[in-house]
């Protein structure tokens, strides 16, 4: 396995496996978040958040997830800078619109914008829940399996953000759409890079990628929209 990590395909392999891992996280995250819109009392979402905060398997996965993000981001910068160096003199006239999709050519731009969104997102929720705390998070008691369990009111934190500010709602919808666009290329590209592709699977993977991207973009957008329209 010598020099695998520095080889062009090795670096792409890192992008691919971290990308696949992050996409699985995005799906889990979405499925939990959707509980926000099915129970206006907030109990359902609070129970889900409590489960995620206390389950040992999730506790172990949290630093792995952070590592996944860090590797995906750092590797993307290294790869893009090296790729830019491969063409010292640029073409004066370039017509690429029919040859490749916009998203595929601008993954770094999409990724950078998603990173900006991610920082805002972490400051909005994760930081308040884990580090700084917030008066809105005062414990609530939820009946769970016959016993009353005390847990943080994560629902109040989310609901107040979207009810209180139109700007945040729009920002989160924008973030979801950018994430979806990133995945229109990222999804099938990840399979291509690990070698799981051929002429038959190409069409299938591209279609699944489109579906996946739509589910992510629409799924996440529904949540701020629900709070903006209903309250």
Kindly list the residues in this chain that would bind other proteins in the complex (CB under 8 A): 1-4, 7-13, 79, 82-96, 98-101, 104-105, 107, 185, 188-189, 192-199, 202
Rounded to 5°, the CA angle 212-207-171 comes to 35
Q: At what angle do helices 43-54 and 8-33 cross, to 10 degrees?
A: 140
Q: Based on CB atoms, which residue is closest to other proteins, 187 or 220?
A: 187
Q: Based on CB atoms, which residue is closest to other proteins, 144 or 192?
A: 192
Q: Based on CB atoms, which residue is closest to other proteins, 95 or 148?
A: 95
- For the bound state, the minimum distance from the C-beta of residue 212 to other proteins, rounded and expressed in Å, comes to 16
- For the bound state, the minimum distance from the C-beta of residue 119 to other proteins, rounded and expressed in Å, comes to 25
- For the bound state, the minimum distance from the C-beta of residue 61 to other proteins, rounded and expressed in Å, comes to 25
Q: Based on CB atoms, which residue is closest to other proteins, 130 or 203?
A: 203
- For the bound state, the minimum distance from the C-beta of residue 115 to other proteins, rounded and expressed in Å, comes to 18
Mark out the alpha helices in 34-165 (DSSP H runs).
Answer: 43-54, 56-85, 102-105, 107-121, 127, 154-164
Q: CA 186 → CA 41, 105, 192, distances in Å?
A: 37, 11, 10
Q: CA 128 to CA 161: how far, in whole Å?
A: 12
Q: CA 136 to CA 169: how far, in whole Å?
A: 19
């Amino acid at each position: 396995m010598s020099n695998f990590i520095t080889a062009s395909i090795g670096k792409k392999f890192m992008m691919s496996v971290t990308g696949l891992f992050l996409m699985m996280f995005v799906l889990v995250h979405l499925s939990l978040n959707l509980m926000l819109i099915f129970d206006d009392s907030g109990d359902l979402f609070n129970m889900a958040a409590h489960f995620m905060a206390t389950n040992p398997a999730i506790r172990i996965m949290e630093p792995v997830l952070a590592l996944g993000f860090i590797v995906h981001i750092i590797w993307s910068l290294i790869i893009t800078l090296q790729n830019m160096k491969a063409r010292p003199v640029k073409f004066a006239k370039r017509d690429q619109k029919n040859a490749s999709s916009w998203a595929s050519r601008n993954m770094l731009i999409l990724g950078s914008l998603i990173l900006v969104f991610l920082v805002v997102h972490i400051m909005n929720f994760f930081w308040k829940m884990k580090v700084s705390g917030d008066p809105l998070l005062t414990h609530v008691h939820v009946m769970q399996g016959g016993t009353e369990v005390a847990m943080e009111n994560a629902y109040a934190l989310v609901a107040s953000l979207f009810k209180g500010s139109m700007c945040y709602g729009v920002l989160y919808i924008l973030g979801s759409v950018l994430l979806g666009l990133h995945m229109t290329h990222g999804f099938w590209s990840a399979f291509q890079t690990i070698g799981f592709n051929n002429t038959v699977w190409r069409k299938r993977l591209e279609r699944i990628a489109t579906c996946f991207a739509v589910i992510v973009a629409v799924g996440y957008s529904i949540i701020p929209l629900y709070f903006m329209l209903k309250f």
